[in-house]
Copies of this chain bind each other. A is one copy, B any other.
Amino acid sequence: MNPLKSPLLTDLYQLTMLQAYFAHGMRETAVFEFFVRTLPPHRNFLLAAGLEQALEFLEQLRFDQDELAWLGQSGLFRKDFVEHLRGLRFTGDVYAMPEGTPFFPQEPILRVTAPIPQAQLIESRLINLVHFETTVASKAARSVLVAPGKLLVDFGLRRAHGAEAGLLAARASYLAGFSGTATVLAAPMFGIPLFGTMAHSFVQAHDDEAAAFVDFAKVFPGNTVFLIDTYDTESAARKIVALAPQLQQAGIAIKGVRLDSGDLAAHARNVRRILDDAGLTRTTIFASGNLDEYRVRELLAAGAPIDGFGIGSSLVTASDAPFLDAVYKLQEYAGKPRRKRSPGKATWPGRKRVYRHYRDEGLLDHDVVTLEGDVQPGNPLLQLMMRGGRRVNASPGIETLRTYAKAQLATLPQHLRELDGSAEPYRVEIAPALQDLAVELDRQSVAGQPLPANVMC
A→B interface (CB under 8 Å): 1, 3-4, 6, 8-17, 19-21, 23-24, 26, 30, 32, 70, 74, 76, 116, 120, 123-125, 127-129, 131-132, 135, 155, 157-169, 182-185, 187-189, 194-202, 204-205, 207-209, 215-216, 218-220, 223, 229-232, 235, 260-263, 289, 313-314, 316-319, 322-324, 326, 329-330, 333-334, 336, 338-345, 445-449
Do the beta carbons of B196 and A13 come within 8 Å of each other?
yes
On chain B, the residues within 8 Å of A338 by CB distance are: 204-205
Among the listed B11, B187, B218, B230, which residue makes an inter-chain contact with A340, where contact means beta carbons less than 8 Å apart? B230
What CA separation (Å) do A162 and B423 show in the bound complex? Answer: 33
Q: Give the 4 A-B CB pairs with smallest separation, nearest first.
A: A12-B196, A162-B164, A161-B161, A201-B330
On chain B, the residues within 8 Å of A261 by CB distance are: 342-345
Please give the distance in Å from A408's CB to the nearest CB on chain B.
24
On chain B, the residues within 8 Å of A445 by CB distance are: 231
Do the beta carbons of A159 and B184 come within 8 Å of each other?
no
Do the beta carbons of B341 and A188 come within 8 Å of each other?
no
What is the chain B residue whose CB lies nearest that of A128?
B158
Q: Known: A182-B11, A215-B24. Contact between A200 and B162, CB under 8 A?
A: no
What is the chain B residue whose CB lies nearest that of A260?
B342
Do the beta carbons of B163 and A3 come within 8 Å of each other?
yes
Do the beta carbons of B199 and A120 come within 8 Å of each other?
yes
Do the beta carbons of A201 and B341 come within 8 Å of each other?
no
What is the chain B residue whose CB lies nearest that of A132?
B161
On chain B, the residues within 8 Å of A199 by CB distance are: 13-14, 17, 120, 123
What CA separation (Å) do A448 and B6 show in the bound complex? Answer: 54
Do the beta carbons of A216 and B1 come within 8 Å of each other?
no
On chain B, the residues within 8 Å of A229 by CB distance are: 342-343
Q: Known: A342-B200, A343-B262. Contact between A163 and B166, CB under 8 A?
A: no
Do the beta carbons of B216 and A159 come within 8 Å of each other?
no
Do the beta carbons of A218 and B343 come within 8 Å of each other?
no
Do the beta carbons of B128 and A160 come within 8 Å of each other?
yes
Q: Known: A9-B167, A167-B9, A448-B232. Contact between A16 and B198, CB under 8 A?
A: yes
Please give the distance in Å from A217's CB to the nearest CB on chain B.
10
On chain B, the residues within 8 Å of A158 by CB distance are: 11, 123-124, 127-128, 131
Do the beta carbons of B166 and A447 come within 8 Å of each other?
no
Among the listed B9, B169, B194, which residue makes an inter-chain contact with A166, where contact means beta carbons less than 8 Å apart? B9
What is the chain B residue whose CB lies nearest that of A133?
B162
Do the beta carbons of A198 and B70 come within 8 Å of each other?
no
Q: Known: A161-B317, A165-B162, A330-B201. Contact between A12 and B345, CB under 8 A?
A: no
Do the beta carbons of A30 and B201 come within 8 Å of each other?
yes
Among the listed B131, B168, B197, B334, which residue makes an inter-chain contact with A13, where contact means beta carbons less than 8 Å apart? B197
On chain B, the residues within 8 Å of A200 by CB distance are: 329-330, 340, 342
Q: Name 7 interchain pairs, CB-CB below 8 A, sorted by A.
A: A9-B184, A17-B201, A20-B219, A26-B205, A164-B164, A201-B333, A318-B322
Please give the distance in Å from A156's CB to the nearest CB on chain B.
9
Please give the distance in Å from A152's CB to the nearest CB on chain B.
15
Among the listed B8, B32, B116, B183, which residue makes an inter-chain contact with A185, where contact means beta carbons less than 8 Å apart? B8
Do the beta carbons of A341 and B161 come within 8 Å of each other?
no
On chain B, the residues within 8 Å of A319 by CB distance are: 322-323
Do the beta carbons of B220 and A20 come within 8 Å of each other?
yes
Please give the distance in Å from A243's CB to the nearest CB on chain B.
14
